[in-house]
């Protein structure tokens, strides 16, 4: 298997991925979450980094953010809907949402014209609004967000070529725009923590597993770009300064027991409170004081025709803009986990775990766990046959798309209720 931000190949083994990338298992946190969303309950969100920060913020009703981005290189489909649903769910749990339309990435890496990036980008904007994003959210095109572009420049100072080569496999032939994209994406993820947006806060980034290299790099950059670093010691924290030891003097005002050394300060007391106070000081003296972002990872969605969902194969996915009748046909033609003949299926039962239609139910179409289990059981026992089952799935898809597309049209007239950063001029090339 090959999983990178630029390429996903082969059959993905998620437990292996957790190990290789060093993610944490999501199921270990599941019990801590009040009313977890569908994708969490069903193990579709399988991994995370530091999600405990978000769990804590939700429990204590503290400020947190949710941020993710969409590359407008193809129309939004059910794969993107997963991320959108995750953003909206965190929104409903009290998180402030930041949504990037990655037009710089689509233009710089995929070569799409700015005009196309804008047109397709708008479909993502309407889709996430139609899916329930709340008005108090920030939606932006990367190319129009000066905060992101300035921060990217700043973060780029903290990473060098050999590191980029090791993480992304860049070569001497790689265009500079592509090399620069990780800095832009890191800035996407960190700008919700800028002073202008309320300062440092836990931020969760829901993404597909292929985006983890960006997350790892961003977590490192968050630390490198900030002044103070923290290390646990007996009874407190050891604080160092990455930007010169003169900054340590600023910690004199801390209201905790502390000991000053040549290159660090040991502070004693409740660790979380010390960290909060130090970040406040850092902000006052002009540092970023970033909190390393948290992330969740969802599984890839399989194509309806088996194999990968690919924007170059329209029959392999349902776009959120498909005509309901077209989508219906795609579902009826989907590869199932059924047997060669009806007789065989009655005798042996179907295989829902290998069925693209069941995956649609599981990821998207059926909210109630009980109903999902009933379908699974009647499939496995041979009571339910694929023809009838596909008809039901198709009817749910049709119903969903009619409703969503209606709400997307309505979203178009409500754009001004949101804080959206649009590009001012859109060139043709
Ligand atoms: N690179 C992501 C993709 O290809 C899109 C993206 C841009 C993104 N900025 C982001 C994802 C910030 C998460 C966070 O899909
Ligand atoms: Fe898939 Fe439904 Fe057929 Fe089972 S009955 S294999 S879930 S289409």
**Band of residue 412 on the pLDDT scale cut at 50, 70, 90:** very high
Residue 236's closest CA among 289, 284, 292, 278? 278
- Which ligand sits nearest to residue 142's alpha carbon? 1
- Measure Cα distances from 349 to 68, 277, 336 in Å: 40, 60, 12
- Which ligand sits nearest to residue 204's alpha carbon? 1
Residue 335's closest CA among 255, 402, 403, 393? 393
pLDDT digits (tens, 9 = 90+) for 31-42: 999 999 999 999
pLDDT digits (tens, 9 = 90+) for 302-337: 999 887 777 778 888 999 999 999 999 999 999 999
Residue 177's closest CA among 247, 230, 104, 245? 104
At 158 the pLDDT is: 97
DSSP symbols for 378-406: HHHTT-S-HHHHHHHHHHHHHHHHHHHHH
- Which ligand sits nearest to residue 391's alpha carbon? 2
Spatial distance between the Cα atoms of 15 and 12, rounded to a whole number of angstroms:
9
Residue 164 confidence (pLDDT) above 90: yes
Does residue 107 line the site of ligand 2, with CB under 6 A? no
User: First vs last Cα of the chain: how many Å apart?
Assistant: 36
**Band of residue 428 on the pLDDT scale cut at 50, 70, 90:** confident
pTM greater than the 0.85 cutoff: yes
Whether the Cβ atoms of residue 153 and residue 257 lie closer than 8 Å to each other: no
Phi first, then psi: give them for residue 72, nearest 5 degrees: -85, 55
Spatial distance between the Cα atoms of 205 and 215, rounded to a whole number of angstroms:
8
Q: Which of 351, 352, 354, 364 is the pocket-test mutation for ligand 2 (most atoms within 8 Å of CB)?
A: 352
Spatial distance between the Cα atoms of 188 and 18, rounded to a whole number of angstroms:
24
Spatial distance between the Cα atoms of 169 and 185, rounded to a whole number of angstroms:
17
Three-state DSSP class for residue 329:
helix
Q: Which of 79, 139, 214, 293 is the pocket-test mutation for ligand 1 (most atoms within 8 Å of CB)?
A: 214
Q: Give the mean model confidence (pLDDT) for residues 389-412.
A: 98
pLDDT digits (tens, 9 = 90+) for 192-243: 999 999 999 999 999 999 999 999 999 999 999 999 999 999 999 999 999 9
**Band of residue 9 on the pLDDT scale cut at 50, 70, 90:** confident
Q: Give the mean model confidence (pLDDT) for residues 161-165.
A: 96
Three-state DSSP class for residue 66:
strand
Whether the Cβ atoms of residue 330 and residue 304 lie closer than 8 Å to each other: yes
Are β-strands 203-208 and 65-70 bridged in parallel, bridged antiparallel, or unpaired? Answer: parallel
The residue whose C-alpha atom lies closest to atom 6 belonging to ligand 1 is: 69
Give the orientation angle of helix 146-156 with respect to helix 176-190, to 10 degrees: 110
DSSP symbols for 262-296: SSEEEEES-HHHHHHHHHHHHHHTT---PPPPEEE
Does residue 105 line the site of ligand 1, with CB under 6 A? yes
pLDDT digits (tens, 9 = 90+) for 90-105: 999 999 999 999 999 9
Three-state DSSP class for residue 50:
coil
Does residue 296 line the site of ligand 2, with CB under 6 A? no
**Band of residue 183 on the pLDDT scale cut at 50, 70, 90:** very high
Residue 320's closest CA among 142, 4, 34, 84? 84
CA 321–ligand 2 middle distance (angstroms): 25
- Which ligand sits nearest to residue 335's alpha carbon? 2
Q: Which of 68, 76, 140, 222 is the pocket-test mutation for ligand 1 (most atoms within 8 Å of CB)?
A: 68
Does residue 239 line the site of ligand 1, with CB under 6 A? no
Does residue 69 line the site of ligand 1, with CB under 6 A? yes
Does residue 389 line the site of ligand 2, with CB under 6 A? yes
Whether the Cβ atoms of residue 37 and residue 44 lie closer than 8 Å to each other: no
pLDDT digits (tens, 9 = 90+) for 60-86: 999 999 999 999 999 999 999 999 999
At 311 the pLDDT is: 73
pLDDT digits (tens, 9 = 90+) for 15-60: 999 999 999 999 999 999 999 999 999 999 999 999 999 999 999 9
Q: Which two tokens stand for residue 275?
A: 């960290």
Residue 429 confidence (pLDDT) above 90: no
Residue 151's closest CA among 111, 100, 90? 100
Locate the ligand 2 atom nearest the alpha carbon of residue 337 and give its number.
6
CA 102–ligand 1 middle distance (angstroms): 7
The rounded radius of gyration (Å) of the Cα atoms in the chain is 23
Q: Which two tokens stand for residue 383?
A: 């009571």
Residue 177 confidence (pLDDT) above 90: yes
The residue whose C-alpha atom lies closest to atom 10 belonging to ligand 1 is: 69
């Amino acid at each position: 298997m090959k999983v990178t931000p630029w390429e996903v190949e082969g059959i993905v083994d998620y437990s292996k991925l957790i190990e290789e990338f060093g993610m944490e298992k999501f199921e270990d946190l599941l019990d801590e979450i009040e009313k977890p969303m569908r994708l969490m309950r069903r193990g579709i969100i399988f991994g995370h980094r530091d999600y405990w920060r978000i769990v804590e913020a939700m429990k204590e009703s503290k400020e947190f953010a949710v941020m993710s981005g969409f590359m407008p290189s193809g129309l939004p489909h059910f794969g993107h809907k997963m991320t959108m649903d995750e953003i909206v769910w965190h929104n409903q749990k009290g998180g402030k949402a930041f949504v990037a339309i990655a037009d710089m990435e689509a233009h710089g890496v995929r070569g799409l014209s700015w005009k196309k990036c804008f047109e397709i980008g708008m479909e993502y904007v309407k889709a996430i609004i139609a899916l329930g994003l709340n008005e108090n959210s920030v939606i932006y095109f990367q190319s129009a967000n000066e905060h992101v572009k300035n921060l990217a420049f700043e973060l780029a100072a903290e990473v060098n070529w050999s590191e980029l080569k090791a993480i992304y496999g860049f070569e001497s032939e790689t265009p500079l725009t592509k090399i620069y994209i990780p800095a832009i994406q890191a800035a996407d993820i960190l700008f919700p923590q800028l002073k202008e947006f309320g300062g440092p806060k836990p931020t969760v980034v829901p993404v597909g597993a292929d985006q983890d290299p960006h997350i790892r790099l961003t977590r490192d950059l968050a630390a490198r770009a900030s002044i103070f670093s923290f290390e646990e010691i007996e009874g407190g924290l050891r604080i160092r300064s990455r930007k010169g030891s003169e900054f340590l003097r600023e910690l004199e005002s801390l209201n905790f027991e502390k000991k000053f050394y040549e290159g660090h300060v040991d502070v004693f007391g409740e660790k979380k409170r010390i960290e909060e106070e130090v970040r406040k000081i850092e902000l006052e003296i002009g540092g970023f004081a970033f909190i390393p972002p948290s992330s969740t990872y969802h599984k890839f969605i399989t194509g309806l025709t088996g194999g990968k969902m690919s924007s170059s194969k329209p029959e392999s996915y349902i776009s959120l803009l498909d005509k309901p009748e077209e989508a219906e046909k795609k579902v009826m033609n989907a590869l199932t986990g059924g047997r060669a003949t009806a007789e065989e299926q009655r005798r042996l039962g179907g295989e829902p775990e290998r069925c693209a239609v069941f995956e649609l139910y599981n990821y998207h179409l059926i909210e109630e766990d009980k109903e999902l289990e009933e379908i699974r059981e009647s499939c496995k026992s041979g009571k339910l046959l694929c023809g009838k089952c596909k008809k039901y799935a198709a009817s749910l898809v049709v119903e969903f798309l009619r409703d969503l597309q209606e709400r997307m049209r309505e979203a178009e007239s409500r754009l001004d209720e949101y804080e959206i950063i649009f590009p001012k001029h859109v060139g043709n090339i």
